[in-house]
Amino acid sequence: MSETRSKSPSRRRHRRRRTALLAGVPLALTSAGAMAYGGVFGVFGADAQPKASAASSTASALAGVTDVANGFASVNALGQNGTYGGRNGQTVTVKTLADLEKYATASEPYIIVVAATINMNPVGKEIKVASDKTIIGAGTSGHIVGGGFFLGQGVHNVIIRNLTIRDAYQGVWNDKEHDFDAIQMDGAHHVWIDHNDLRHMADGLIDSRKDTTYLTVSWNKLSQENKAFGIGWTENTTADITIHHNWIRETEQRNPSTDNVAHAHLYNNFLEDEAGTTIKSSYGNYSRGKTNMVLENSYFQGMTNPVVRDATATLVQRGNVFSGTTGKNESGGSGAAWDPKTYYSYTPDKAADVPALLKSGAGPRSSVAKVSSTATTTAAAATTLTVAADGSGQYRTVQAAVNAVPANNASRVVISVKPGTYRELVKVPSNKPHVTIQGSGGSRKDTTIVYNNASGTPKPDGSGTYGTGGSATVAVDADDFQARNLTISNDFDEAAHQDIANQAVALRTSADKVLLDSVIISGDQDTLLVDTASKDKLGRVYITNSYVVGNTDFIFGRATAVIDKSVITLKKRWNGTSAGYVTAPSTAANRKGILIANSTINGDVSDRSFFLGRNWHAGGDATLDPQTTVRNTTLSAAIKTTPWSDMGGFSWKEDRFAEYQNKGTGAGAASTDRPQLTDAQAAGQEIADWLGDWTPSAS
């Protein structure tokens, strides 16, 4: 800030339900590689051809990636010859929820190309997909946010590919109230889930339940979730499932948990428990019930209990690599041995090669061919600039890519940053709107932009110090800016530099319509400065599905800012003490300030040591009317029972500070020291009231 301030501040057992027995014995055990497969978005037999609409509008599904279903999804059984999705149907491109639902639930076959970010309404909605469908993302632009897909009893011949399905998270890690999955299947068969990015949902990422069979799950990223992939919910032991080349990381359990599966073939998967994160695995691959599992050529990094087997289950291991793992690593059992190659052909990769293969190849691929649309008009594609510190991109630094954006550009420019640590200062000037900076890795932790300037750091040219705003690692002055899937950090060492002003900003925004989606913003004091270009200018910022980390006034400024469905992490001070303030708004009168909604505030700090905020009258300006509202948010015991504080001689009670329907051990009843909104007041303090005529949308 511009004024000097004081530096002191169970694992739940799968529910089993009896369901009708599905025939589980493979019929024609035809090799996928030997069949007359080929063509667009799926599998074509010798006597089948795609309709002209599909063939003419799409050249290929994924460049360099097979279009042929493999594993158990390729086996002929239950009257279905392999899995080919909507091969005989019309190709449509969808960009709205209404169109996606219309075609996904239709009785006739369709190839449905998702070419935009589609937000589920209500949150948690799962579209009931009908048989004979291919649902595929166009490049990396197909995002399903806040919900997913449901395949019910008897639904068959479905391909879900190249999509990002994310962010139905409701602020509770082991969420037993919201059954919001990315993909749930109850009694379906012949399903291929391939090259998707599934993350940050409320309950689980994939649920294969009630005898779902002839399922292949391949080349997906599964992350940022308590429960990754659960299989079972049945007394029957009939299902046949192939799970290969999946990168499972930042998950705790069900990685997968495989209950009562007749033939479970897991190979070339990469299970990673990253050191230094708060998410710890409780187990990895689990053969439970009467499952008969073959587990081969997979790579387990840092996992706790990497391989677990029930006494009633069978598990055969071969060729796996275990690095830094602890706890159970089991195999054995009395079940009959079986060989996956009697059902389909496959050639596993070497286990040692799996991490590199999946880091580069799992998840959505960018080279999906453009298609014509009968549902919507496809928007002009964004320009993409690539950044890689190793020289494999167009630019080695993020700032070099920003410099390459033309002044006053009229359309979106995406700066795709490969995994790595970029120690640099980045500034997006006001004459370069419509810029997106996004990490291309599997996690927002993979790509980090970091620097260590503080307010009191001397400038190299000897012209003074940077000041608070000038200390930012990333500074955004351009409207319509977006950041996704990366970390922005300021790692200034307060302990080593107590001689200078230690406000150290990670990200500063002074623009309108700023969208921060799935990012980590990390620092100590003054982490995130949400500002405006001037006192009379509007500046709106929407932050979702993200983490903000700090200790003193670490979300501050005069912008109209919303933090939604995110985690605010409280951090101890440099000397190990717990004391701080979450927000310090400096809102202009008649403007909206900072809104924290549907989120979680917690951290490894002492109980009752943090204020929710204090009122910053920047420069002693008595005309300001600072505002913070915290609503529908889970508060840990770190929050003080009197959560608001005065600042700079101004009483917070003369400004705008309130809560509404918060929960958790840090929540409290209404009092003169803890104002609560009435229902009527809360109706006027919704997210839409903050954002006005702007509806944030990833692009």
- The 10s digit of each residue's pLDDT in 532-567 is 999 999 999 999 989 999 999 999 999 999 999 999
Q: What is the pLDDT of residue 47?
A: 27
CA–CA dist 44, 28 (Å, integer): 16
Q: What is the pLDDT of residue 699?
A: 62
Q: What is the pLDDT of residue 56?
A: 31
For residue 264, give the H/E element and its range: strand 261-267
For residue 562, give the H/E element and its range: strand 560-564
- Positions annotated as catalytic residues are 526, 553
For residue 358, give the H/E element and its range: helix 354-361
> 292-296 and 314-318: which strand pairing?
parallel
Q: What is the pLDDT of residue 226?
A: 86
Backbone angles phi, psi at 652, to 5 degrees: -65, -25
Neighbours of 172 (CB within 10 A): 16
Residue 405's alpha-carbon distances to 45, 151, 323, 382, in angstroms, are: 47, 44, 43, 12
Q: What is the pLDDT of residue 42?
A: 32
Residue 318's alpha-carbon distances to 86, 243, 321, 344, 357, in angstroms, are: 36, 15, 9, 18, 19
User: Which segments of the chain have a pLDDT < 50?
Assistant: 2-66, 368-381
Contacts of 320 (CB under 8 A, 6+ apart): 295, 296, 297, 298, 299, 300, 307, 351
Q: Which of 285, 322, 369, 334 shows the shortest CA–CA distance to 61? A: 369
Alpha helix positions (H), 177-315: none
User: In this structure, is the dihedral angle defined by the CA atoms of residues 516, 518, 520 and 526, taken in order, positive or negative?
Assistant: positive
CA–CA dist 420, 427 (Å, integer): 19
Give tens-digit pLDDT for 569-617: 999 999 999 999 999 999 999 999 999 999 999 999 999 999 999 999 9
Q: What is the pLDDT of residue 482?
A: 97
Q: What is the pLDDT of residue 170?
A: 84
Q: What is the pLDDT of residue 3?
A: 39
CA–CA dist 673, 692 (Å, integer): 30
Q: What is the pLDDT of residue 218?
A: 96
Contacts of 198 (CB under 8 A, 6+ apart): 164, 165, 166, 182, 183, 205, 206, 220, 221, 222, 223, 225
CA–CA dist 238, 501 (Å, integer): 66
Q: Which of 263, 273, 196, 202 shows the shortest CA–CA distance to 231? A: 263
Q: What is the pLDDT of residue 62?
A: 38
